[in-house]
Amino acid sequence: MTNTRGQWGSRLGFILAAAGSAVGLGNLWKFPYKAGINGGGAFVIIYIAVLFLVGFSLMIAEIAIGRKTQLNALGAYRAINKNWGFAGAIGILAGFIILSFYAVIGGWVIKYLFDSVSGSLFKINAVDYGGHFGSFISSAGSPLFYQALFMVLTLVIVLGGVSSGIEKASKIMMPALFFMMIVLMIRSVTLPGAIEGVKFLFKPDFGKAFTPKVIVDAMGQVFFSLSLGMGCMITYGSYLPRNTNIPFSGTMILILDSFVALLAGLVILPAVFSFGFEPGAGPGLMFITIPAIFSKMAFGNIFAIIFFLLVLFAALTSSISLLEVCVSYVVDEFKKNRIISSVILSIIIFLLGIPSSLANGAWSDFKILGYNFFDFMDMFASNILLPLGGLLLCIFVGWVWKTKNAVHEIQNEGSLKFSIAPLWSFIIKFISPIIIIVIFLTNFGIIKL
């Protein structure tokens, strides 16, 4: 059989692309504000616990399914067991939904980048950034324009294909991102009074942390941040050659992702404290507090450009993976042309994102279960679909495909040592599903913690 599917050009290329998928708005926008509203260090501790217990095992499992079957998320499940295509379908649906609202925020980032470059972001009085942001996101036209622009950038990269589009873009954007983050982190932690922000991130306030909502949020955040539970790593794994070291690659992706989340905390929170702002400002942290801080900082205009450029890079290396999950499904399953499929999917996803954008303005009164459309999409995909996808993944690998077959794949059919295989199998079969179920039940109030 001739393989016409794409393939990564190198192991480093795969790691950077997969880490690029993981590192995104989840790390830079969500993590610092979630830590901010959920008790700082306590949230971080729960996050890291779920990350290592559940995240690590699932990451390896997803990559293994992808490499074994060399298929998209749905096709991969079905190739191993013909009744399990639905698990992949849930994932693809999640990807579709996530990209629809992800592009809205991606658009805001482009707008703030443009305004930093033109300097108009600094013509605002520091106290007015909230109003400025509010009036921008609640207007109808402009956010949609930037959302469309973000989708176009995503599409252009995906059109380039796996190795010359996604891999190449990640190889440029990821190192640039690390470099820019380190520059900003050094600036932030050397500001007067910055130490309070560092303390906030590492010193837990347990009173706030052990509430069901915080724990569910931390779990949702792990899935979202690692791009797990929706077949993204299955899809990226399907472009791997047979001889890659999956445990090593998985570990690198996990380390890079957590490193960037903490680094983001260290860029944002010390500056927030140094300038006397509120860490629990919520989603507006990146668009209200941060610009206000840059407006007061020496050379703030340059730091703002670096900041929004790095956020844009992070967002794009993630959005391309979200689009790729959908594209790969349509191309594999329906044998459709990659270019046409990518264009059509991008248009549909853009249209689905419109209500999310309008939820911040004209349609803000439209509520589903008390959430506006944007927050509902985020909550539904991140806190329900992704953990559900993760749960199905554990059951599938643990009990349907069977861990011994999965381990055989992870060990490259015997040529690679995977010394923690028994532990990994135990976590996949028992620990991870139990953690996910308990957190779910707690969230729905069925168990009280």
Which residues contribute to the site for ligand PHE (CB under 6 A)?
A: 21-22, 24-27, 98, 224-225, 227, 230, 232, 318, 321-322
Quote the DSSP letter at residue 128: G
Kindly state the smallest distance separating residue 307's Cβ from ligand PHE, in Å: 16
Q: Minimal distance in Å, beta carbon 21 to ligand PHE? A: 5
User: Least distance to ligand PHE from the beta carbon of 423, Å?
Assistant: 25
Task: Give the nearest distance from C-beta 135 to ligand PHE in angstroms.
Answer: 26
Q: Which residues contact 215 (CB under 8 A, 6 or more apart)?
A: 46, 209, 439, 442, 449
Please state the closest distance from residue 389 (CB atom) to ligand PHE, in A: 10
Shortest distance, position 319 Cβ to ligand PHE, whole Å: 8
Which residue, 269 or 322, is less far from ligand PHE as judged by CB?
Answer: 322
Residue 154 or 403 having the CB closest to ligand PHE: 154
- Torsion 6-12-15-16 (CA) sign: negative
Residues 372 and 364: beta-carbon distance below 8 Å: yes
What is the C-alpha separation between 327 and 175, in angstroms, rounded?
26
Q: Which is nearer to ligand PHE, 300 or 389 (CB)?
A: 389
How long a stretch of residues is the chain?
449
DSSP letters, 352-400, are: HHHHHHHTTTTTTT-EETTEEHHHHHHIIIIIIIHHHHHHHHHHIIIII
Say how far apart CA 29 and CA 308 lie, in whole Å. 11
- Name the minimum Å distance from CB 235 to ligand PHE: 10
Least separation in angstroms between residue 130's CB and ligand PHE is 24
Cβ proximity to ligand PHE: between 21 and 289 the closer is: 21
Structure-token pair, residue 314: 């992070």
Residue-by-residue DSSP string for 277-299: --TT-GGGGTTTHHHHHHHHSTT
Parallel, antiparallel, or unpaired for β 371-372 and 367-368? antiparallel
* Closer of 58 and 297 to ligand PHE (Cβ): 58
Minimum CB distance to ligand PHE smaller for 113 or for 194: 113
Q: Nearer to ligand PHE by C-beta: 21 or 72?
A: 21
* CA 5 to each of CA 163, 244, 338, 373: distance values in angstroms, whole numbers, following the listed order: 11, 17, 10, 36
Nearest to 392 by CA among 332, 352, 433: 433
Cα–Cα distances in angstroms (integers) from residue 363 to residues 154, 247, 354, in the given order? 26, 46, 10
User: Which residue lies nearer to ligand PHE by CB, 146 or 273?
Assistant: 146
CB of 97 or CB of 439, closer to ligand PHE: 97
User: Going along 207-295, which residue ranges are E strands?
Assistant: none
CB of 84 to ligand PHE, least distance (A): 20
